[in-house]
Homo-oligomer: A and B are copies of this chain.
Amino acid sequence: MASNNKNPALDQNFSAGSGKSYSPDIRSVRINTSREGISVPFKQLCLSNGEKILVQDVSGPQTDGVLPRARESWGGSYKDGEVRKVHKTQLDYAKEGHVTAEMEYAATRESMAYGPDMAFTPEFVMKELAAGRAALPANANHPESEPMLIGKAFSVKVNANIGASSLSSGYEEEIKKLRVSLKYGADTIMDLSTGIKELGPLRDALLRRSPVPMGTVPVYEALDRAEGRAKDLTWDLFKKTILDQARQGVDYFTIHAGLTSDLLPYAAKRTLGIISRGGSLMAAAMMNHESENMAWEHFDEILEICHDYDVALSLGDGLRPGCIADACDKAQYGELENIGKLIERCREAGVQSFVEGPGHVPMDRIEENQRLEERYCKDAPFYTLGPLVSDIAPGFDHVTAAIGGARIAECGTSMLCYVTPAEHLALPEEEDVRQGLLVFRLAAHAADLARHLPGATIRDDAMGRARAEFRWYDQFTLSLDPMHAYKVWSSKMPEDCGHTPAFCSMCGPRFCPIRLNRALVYRYSNEENKAD
């Protein structure tokens, strides 16, 4: 490992009411790749018994300003005036059998190791990319980003949606949401800002500060440029918006190209019609112009732009169901079938691609959604919004969606878009972002365990041992949110209990089963020794 410094941004010190204080020993470390000067950051959870647990670290360089443009020197792109273009996309290289620095970086990140111990070799990553089973979003104009993988063979990723709307949330607030997202483990972010004046500058500010790939839904800005009138939303205007955002550095675009006009009558019959913002805008433009979906019609031009800058396409589910009653209908599955056709065109064109999924789906039909996506879209990575498994829990829909998200990820989904407690009610604030990310990190990890991802049990197993040995502070360090766990625990413990009290307030000292266990282990390990 290249370095081993305690990460100042993670070095929080908290003093509870009881007077005890705690600061988790979480360090920043880097693992070198085979390439000079290219190493991958991780967090190392340092436990009191000397154990060190390595976990992925998406938080990037801890700085208040813009990030270094690290990837600029890795090769593969060239200057074309102000902006950079690529010689080939990551998919082109993979199809040629060429391992890029980005692939090697991402393989190291997934494996938490470089060299003979790697769970995933750079060659394996290359093959997954070549087959279109994985994507590595890395726009040449977002050199601040650290390569990562979205694909079924790899750990389940979590996206955090941020962005302002006309009713709330300004520039500073969005930067804060970005920071919270990175702190709590967003693997990618999407800027979904709409209806504010400074869309471009805000996006630039986010890109220059984001070490994770960033996605957008370009039709939002296109409508803004059309001054909110769907009838003025022309292909030229849409195309110009896509081009501008590609040149700015957006790593993936959600484009609702699969929502064709033949599906609109099915959507019109639904309880909730179209609930995707982008989907409803495309439909409005189609109805206004009496024409086919412009993104479907001009898909080759979209592919050309995406290829120039290596923007990945996230094929949007404009017809995702917005309530249980609308799930799995002709509108939804018809669009998915269309997306399957577009995926083939992306692969031919050398444009990386993945597929967006529902939405609201009852639990008994979640597996069907994953299998259909795999069939229609030939194993392209699936990227779902939940799905939410019921409609009746506004205020708790981060949980409604985490239940469905964990399940569909268990079935093979590659990335989950988080849902926050504000879903269906309001624009999320910072605390909503935190809550949403924590429960989705949890859902993604539960799926990693279920999918037998190499190394997935390491942290859980360390937690089990820490519990068995009453190493409370190690339990906090191993938690998804150490300070939160510590606060809950310490608020109920006596002041003088120290770091390893052999009980907690749930059962009190007399009834602690873990304590009673010690006699059990003593007894049977003695018997074994006698037998030996």
Instruction: Provide the residues of chain B in CB contact with A447, threshold 8 Å.
Output: 363
- How far apart sit A204 and B497, CA to CA, in the bound complex (Å)? 33
A425 within 8 A of B: yes
- Contact code string A394-437 (vs B, CB < 8 Å = 1, else 0): 11100110111011001000000000011111110000000000
Minimum CB distance partner of A440 in chain B: B399
Q: Do B395 and A481 touch across chains, with their CB atoms under 8 A apart? A: yes
Q: Do A325 and B267 touch across chains, with their CB atoms under 8 A apart? A: no
- How far apart sit A168 and B492, CA to CA, in the bound complex (Å)? 8
Stretch at the interface among A30-38, A369-377, A520-528: A520-528
- How far apart sit A439 and B506, CA to CA, in the bound complex (Å)? 20
Q: Do B507 and A277 touch across chains, with their CB atoms under 8 A apart? A: yes
A485 within 8 A of B: yes
Instruction: Provide the residues of chain B in CB contact with A460, threshold 8 Å.
Output: 323-325, 390-392
- Contact code string A461-494 (vs B, CB < 8 Å = 1, else 0): 1011101100000011011110011001101111
Instruction: Provide the residues of chain B in CB contact with A421, threshold 8 Å.
Output: 488
Residues of A484-515 whose CB lies within 8 A of B: 484-485, 488-489, 491-494, 504-511, 513-514
Q: Do B280 and A516 touch across chains, with their CB atoms under 8 A apart? A: yes
- How far apart sit A274 and B467, CA to CA, in the bound complex (Å)? 12
Minimum CB distance partner of A445 in chain B: B390
Known: A392-B463, A460-B392, A479-B393. A165 touches B507 (CB 8 A): yes
Known: A491-B426, A508-B194. A280 touches B513 (CB 8 A): yes
A438 within 8 A of B: yes
Instruction: Provide the residues of chain B in CB contact with A438, threshold 8 Å.
Output: 393, 396
Which residue of B273, B396, B520 is within 8 Å of A521 (Cβ)? B273
Instruction: Provide the residues of chain B in CB contact with A214, threshold 8 Å.
Output: none
Known: A395-B484, A446-B362, A514-B272. A520 touches B463 (CB 8 A): no
Q: Do B280 and A426 touch across chains, with their CB atoms under 8 A apart? A: no
Instruction: Provide the residues of chain B in CB contact with A308, threshold 8 Å.
Output: none
Minimum CB distance partner of A410 in chain B: B363
A97 within 8 A of B: no
- Contact code string A220-241 (vs B, CB < 8 Å = 1, else 0): 1001000010100000000000
Stretch at the interface among A20-28, A106-114, A128-136, A449-457: A449-457
Of A423, A475, A513, the most chain B CB neighbours within 10 A belong to: A513
Stretch at the interface among A245-253, A281-289, A293-301, A351-359: A281-289
Copies of this polypeptide in the complex:
2
Instruction: Provide the residues of chain B in CB contact with A7, threshold 8 Å.
Output: none
A2 within 8 A of B: no
Q: Do A442 and B390 touch across chains, with their CB atoms under 8 A apart? A: yes
Which residue of B264, B273, B399, B478 is within 8 Å of A442 (Cβ)? B399
A73 within 8 A of B: no
- How far apart sit A64 and B404, CA to CA, in the bound complex (Å)? 39
Q: Which 6 A-B pairs have the closest CB atoms?
A: A323-B464, A268-B524, A280-B513, A273-B517, A363-B450, A166-B508
- Besides A166-B508, A275-B513, A324-B457, 14 other CB < 8 A contacts? A165-B506, A167-B505, A268-B521, A273-B517, A277-B511, A277-B513, A363-B406, A364-B410, A389-B449, A403-B403, A403-B443, A404-B446, A407-B407, A425-B504
Q: Can you identify 20 A-B contacts, CB atoms within 8 angstroms? A: A166-B509, A195-B508, A228-B510, A264-B524, A268-B523, A271-B464, A275-B513, A276-B513, A281-B516, A284-B520, A287-B519, A287-B523, A324-B457, A392-B442, A392-B479, A394-B476, A421-B488, A425-B485, A426-B488, A426-B492
